Amino acid sequence: MTDAPTNSSAEPAKEPKAESRCGYVAIVGRPNVGKSTLLNHLLGQKLCITSRKPQTTRHTLLGIKTEDNLQVVFVDTPGIHTNQERAINRVMNRSAASVIADVDLVIFVVDRFEWSEADEYVAKYISNYEVPVIVAINKVDLVEDKEELLPHLQFLSEKVKAADLIPLSALRRTNFEQLEESINRFMPEAPHMFPEDQITDRSERFLAAEMVREKITRQLGAEVPYQVTVEIEEFRVEPKVTHISALILVEREGQKKIIIGNKGERIKNIGQQARADMESLLGCKVMLKTWVKVRSGWSDDERALRSLGYIDE
């Protein structure tokens, strides 16, 4: 009896291909808890504008992260406001609410040991939806005694029906591996919604406007930034340079003077800093023109907000 011949050319058995997974994750919380910073670091690049002032984020924005068979579509939402006196605050709340209803997971960001009326409002808001929630306790790098976190985690577990509670630092990427593992557990089997090289649903024109607004928000005092918006009137791409014209809208003549500054120094600085970010985003030279115009009452006028892109049809 002879041995059966060995087929040396036979290919090794292939491992079964992993199913593609894709899901939507809303990042919510009261204003100024670090939602946009968290998203920027989850994506590994700057997409959302940030500042120390509340209400910096005004628009819902998608940040798309694709790795192998997994695609996570993060939704950065405006901070949810208890004060809804102005139209812009009501619009931002509606925007955040419409997102929560349609996602696979919510990340509820809170700031260390702080728990305000606004946090309570957000917690009740998300409890209306049957969606798993991760509570991200941000800025724990500023907590000296980490043992103090334990009773606060117990307090949060009583306030929010959470699938996970994760202390982290968005700025320093502390505990990001734990957060990402928790997020991935909730992503369903589904085909990817976006090409693997796409990182956002927003246009370069939109991102350019936000970059100008970020520089204004960072440079000005507490009151003016909330009554300022930016509209891109020209976005013209040439082989070696992109020409961008940005119109800065304010509500009062005094605000216009503040933004322009002494002999035009402030608006010059705003333009220089915004242009540097634009060149990094676009990978080319940018010629940026900026000017300021008064449009009274724009932030409390839903028709004006619609024309400025704050209300999605």
pLDDT band, residue 92 (cuts 50/70/90): low
CATH number for the domain harbouring residue 226: 3.30.300.20
**Based on the domain organization, do 35 and 125 belong to the same domain?**
yes
The reported pLDDT for the residue numbered 301 is 65
Confidence of residue 17 (pLDDT cuts 50, 70, 90): low
**CATH code of 111's domain:** 3.40.50.300
**Single-letter residue type at 264:** G
More confident residue, 57 or 183: 183
* Beta sheet of 61-67, edge-to-edge order: 61-67, 70-76, 21-28, 105-111, 133-138, 164-167
User: What does the pLDDT average to over 162-171?
Assistant: 93
Which pLDDT score is estimated for 79? 57
pLDDT digits (tens, 9 = 90+) for 19-66: 899 999 999 888 778 888 898 899 988 777 555 544 444 457 789 999
Q: Are residues 123 and 68 in the same domain?
A: yes
Same domain, 150 and 217: no
Has residue 121 been placed in a domain? yes
Final residue belonging to a domain, choices 185, 217, 238: 185
Domain that holds residue 125: 21-185
Supply the mean pLDDT for the chain. 82
Residue 37 lies in a domain: yes
Q: How do residues 216-264 score in pLDDT, each as one tens digit?
A: 888 876 656 567 889 999 999 999 999 999 999 888 898 899 899 999 9
25 and 104 inside one domain: yes
CA distance 202 to 281: 13
In this prediction, residue 173 has a pLDDT band, given cuts at 50, 70 and 90, of confident
| One domain for residues 244 and 273 | yes
Q: How far apart are CA 297 and CA 75, in angstroms?
A: 29
Domain count, the chain: 2
Q: 156 and 212 in one domain? A: no
Is 3 a domain residue?
A: no
- List % helix, strand, coil for the chain (3-state, nearest 5): 40, 25, 40
In-domain check, residue 27:
yes
Structural domain includes residue 94: yes
Last residue of a domain, one of 126, 152, 185: 185
Least confident range from 3-7, 95-99, 148-152, 232-236: namely 3-7
- Comparing C-alpha atoms, which of 298, 145, 129 is closest to residue 228? 298
105 shares its domain with 32: yes
Mark whether 116 and 162 lie in a shared domain. yes
Task: Report yes or no on 263 lying in a domain.
Answer: yes
What pLDDT score was predicted for residue 102? 85
Query: Quick one: 208 and 298 in the same domain?
Result: yes
Tell me the mean pLDDT in the region 92-105.
Answer: 73
Q: In this structure, are 100 and 142 located in the same domain?
A: yes
Q: Radius of gyration over alpha carbons of the chain, in Å?
A: 23
pLDDT at 122: 85
Same domain, 221 and 262: yes
Complete DSSP assignment for 66-132 = EETTEEEEEEE-PPP-S---SHHHHHHHHHHHHHHTT-SEEEEEEETT---HHHHHHHHHHTTS---
Residue 14 located in a structural domain = no
| pLDDT, average across residues 180-197 | 95
Q: Are residues 68 and 176 in the same domain?
A: yes
Residue 87 placed within a domain: yes
